[in-house]
Amino acid sequence: MTALLRYRLIFSLFSFLLVFVPDIAYAHVGMGVESWAHGMLHPVAGLDHLCAMVAVGLWAAQMGGRALWLAPLAFVGVMALGGLPGMAAIALPPIVEGGIEGGILMSLLVLGVLIAAAIRLPLTVSLVLVGFFALFHGYAHGAEMPRSVSGLSYALGFMLSTAALHGIGIGMATLLAKTGRPRWLRLAGASVALFGGALFFVG
């Protein structure tokens, strides 16, 4: 199996999980997976979350090396921690709570610019950066959890969905690199940054 075919299969698998697994879960809510399905759907329900998650995968693949796996892992792990106060309905100071949406939009702007400019930061700095943005996304996921669902299942759902979106970003970036189209990757980054900027000024 060629490397290109392998990456296409991985991309197809992540796409299948992202598109069909939530529907399967909803079809079997009697089996106790309704909470998990809610979590799976939340990151893909808003374009801001979806674009940011894919952007993390794009940037991780662009950096390569250990960042390819560590950046997505750091994002998912810290995001789960950030979701805890949101799920527990812990009130944040007004200045912090009011900045959650701003932090999410900032993640689009910064990640988009990093991809568009093909900037490779030191690994530690990269992990701190994605972890910082993950806190905002995690809190938003947790705060919007339906009170009738299981927190653990819900968290596992949005973690898996986020990991799938990271995988799609990695697959997209890898395919573009393998087919000699790195400019398309940078264009994708610019599009993410523009989208984040538009949301920031419109909102």
Structural domain boundaries in the chain: 3-202
Backbone angles phi, psi at 6, to 5 degrees: -60, -45
Distance CA 27, CA 32 (A): 11
Confidence of residue 96 (pLDDT cuts 50, 70, 90): low
Q: What radius of gyration do the chain's Cα atoms show? A: 17
- Give the angle subtended at the CA of 108 by the CAs of 104 and 113, to the nearest 5°: 145
Confidence of residue 142 (pLDDT cuts 50, 70, 90): confident
pTM of the predicted model, to two decimals?
Answer: 0.81
Contact 122, 65 (CB under 8 A): no
Q: What is the model's pLDDT at position 93? A: 64
Is residue 165 over pLDDT 50?
A: yes
Cα separations in angstroms, 142 against 118, 145, 166, 170: 32, 5, 19, 25
Cα separations in angstroms, 34 against 43, 57, 82, 150: 16, 27, 22, 9
